[in-house]
Structure 1
Amino acid sequence: MANDYDVPAVRRTHDILRVLSSRPTPVKAAELAQACQLPKSTLYLLLDCLEQRRWIERQEGGYIIGLELMALGSAYLRHDGLQAAFHQAASAFVDRCNEVVQLAALDGFDVVYLAREDARRPVRLVSDLGLRLPAHACALGKALLASLPPEELAARLPQTLPRVTDRTIADATRLHRELDAVRRQGLAEDQEEVAAGLVCYAAFVGVTPLGKRVAVSTSIPADRLDDAHRRDATEGIRRVARDIALRVIPGA
């Protein structure tokens, strides 16, 4: 039914913004025309309109996402108090464990990173805000998938599970076993399944009043983990999830 109400200008704008958001450097108009399969005349009209509204900016002979679009997008976290609740709980975790905390939502079979509280020491991360990852590959995604009713999980599960690293789960049976363990333990993990040398632990927060299904995680270099730090991190990330839920999830 959605196709019956398709508005070409909106769809084309969406395609342009998705391409720009996926690239780390400015994208030239010719490349956008090819990626979005748009005539140059149509493309330039849309680019001019978006640039006037500061949804995009011209840089180095190409285009990037603009400041106004970032400001509009940040409202997603403010509507139900999720941003404030996350930063309060995550700051306490960083003070205790000195490790990064990430917040993400489930969108289809993707995890979308919404917010991050950085630690006071560097760590190589793949969790830029707005980044998407296949849910089966990361601890956040496993925590979110495990929270779904069985019929909804089955509907979202793709036929093929792509690998991000050679440790990523690519077998549906094994994934279901792991999700069962997540439900029992209230904790998900990935062992270098998204990035070599990086271990992640995640806990499900809940579904906000506006329907955001969210979870939190911490990512720690494997060579920094000993039993005591692992225990502190896993207990701590569960506490972050509970603290956020108490602030934003009715009846939590």
Structure 2
Amino acid sequence: MEKTYDVPALRRASDILEALAAAAKPVRAATLAERTGLSRSTLYLMLETLARMQWIEKRDDGYVIGVGLFELGNAYVRHDTLQAAFREGAAAFIHQHNEVVQLAVLDGIHVVYVAREDAHRPVRLVSDPGSRLPAHCCALGKALLAGLSDEAVIERLPERLEAVTPRTITRRTALLRELAAIRTSGLAVEREEVAEGLACFAAYVGMTPAGKRIAVSTSVPIGRLDPKRERRICIGIVQLATQLRGTL
């Protein structure tokens, strides 16, 4: 087995950034020391350096992710020229259906949201860019997993899956059956497996030149759906995925 080596300073910086990214409010230095296990002297040196680079910012009595790191993170989407194509396609979908559109990539067993275009009305979402969800429980994740073989999915996921809501699929065998249907239809559907009262429809786009598996989706409150509108939205999201596939 090939050995892997960490650069200690980079690992420490990563630990700090992950702690800040997971927090909903500024994190105090004392809390960071507890979460990362770093000594006070090492921690303060790291914080000063990261602040000078604008990767973090001092806010009130704690620290938050900084604008410099935000700028670097946005390059993830720009490098594959996906951002412009996504925004153009999403704008057309929103004009027709007035529902949010999301773009995500597969990272191991999780979905990471990389872009979102909002509709002209509010909807409760958990898809802020940079956030992640277990792939097995959301339509985006199912669309992305359906792009893999069953063998690859079995290698990634355990037999028992995490329940995010009471409606989440928790058996890998049941998920595999659903993935087979998605490969046939080209559409992934999820109802209240991530959030109560919310349905999601997603379609696999493909793999970018940089090796990212990407998919698009829309999330709609169940109360705004009837069979006819749901069919139109499903057709629209599959068409958007096909359009984006042509840009890869």
Can you list the C-alpha shifts for 1:121-173, whole angstroms capped at 9, x where unaligned? 11111101100100001000000001012332222113531111111111111
Can you list the C-alpha shifts for 1:220-244, whole angstroms capped at 9, x where unaligned? 0000001121011100000110111
Q: Which residue of 2 aligns with 1:19?
A: 19
Q: Which residue of 2 aligns with 1:195?
A: 195
Q: Which residue of 1 aligns with 2:234?
A: 234
Is the alpha carbon distance of 1:145 and 1:243 closer, same or farther for their aligned partners in structure 2, counting shifts above 3 Å?
same
Can you list the C-alpha shifts for 1:93-135, whole angstroms capped at 9, x where unaligned? 0011000000000000000000001001111111011001000
Distance (Å, rounded) in 2 between the aligned partners of 1:2 and 1:66: 35
Q: Which residue of 2 aligns with 1:108?
A: 108
How many residues matched? 248
Structure 2 residues not aligned, in runs of 5+: none
Q: Which residue of 2 aligns with 1:224?
A: 224
Tell me the secondary structure at the aligned position of residue 218 of structure 1. strand
Tell me the secondary structure at the aligned position of residue 246 of structure 2. helix
Q: Contact (CA 8 Å) 2:189, 2:202: kept in 1 or not?
A: yes
Alignment of 1:1-252 (within 5 A): 4-248=4-248
The alpha carbon displacement at 1:82 in A equals 0.7
* TM-score between the two structures when normalised by the length of structure 2: 0.97
Tell me the secondary structure at the aligned position of residue 5 of structure 1. coil
Structure 1 residues not aligned, in runs of 5+: none
AA partner of residue 53 (structure 2): R
AA partner of residue 92 (structure 1): A
Distance (Å, rounded) in 2 between the aligned partners of 1:219 and 1:2: 42
Distance (Å, rounded) in 2 between the aligned partners of 1:148 and 1:14: 29
Q: Contact (CA 8 Å) 2:112, 2:133: kept in 1 or not?
A: yes
AA partner of residue 72 (structure 1): L
Q: Give identity over the alignment, percent.
A: 56
Alignment RMSD (CA, Å): 1.1
Distance (Å, rounded) in 1 between the aligned partners of 2:118 and 2:69: 23
More displaced, 160-169 or 1-10?
A: 1-10
Is the alpha carbon distance of 1:57 and 1:7 closer, same or farther for their aligned partners in structure 2, counting shifts above 3 Å?
same
Tell me the secondary structure at the aligned position of residue 96 of structure 1. helix
More displaced, 22-31 or 107-116?
A: 22-31
Is the alpha carbon distance of 1:41 and 1:160 closer, same or farther for their aligned partners in structure 2, counting shifts above 3 Å?
farther
Is the alpha carbon distance of 1:216 and 1:50 closer, same or farther for their aligned partners in structure 2, counting shifts above 3 Å?
same
Is the alpha carbon distance of 1:3 and 1:30 closer, same or farther for their aligned partners in structure 2, counting shifts above 3 Å?
farther
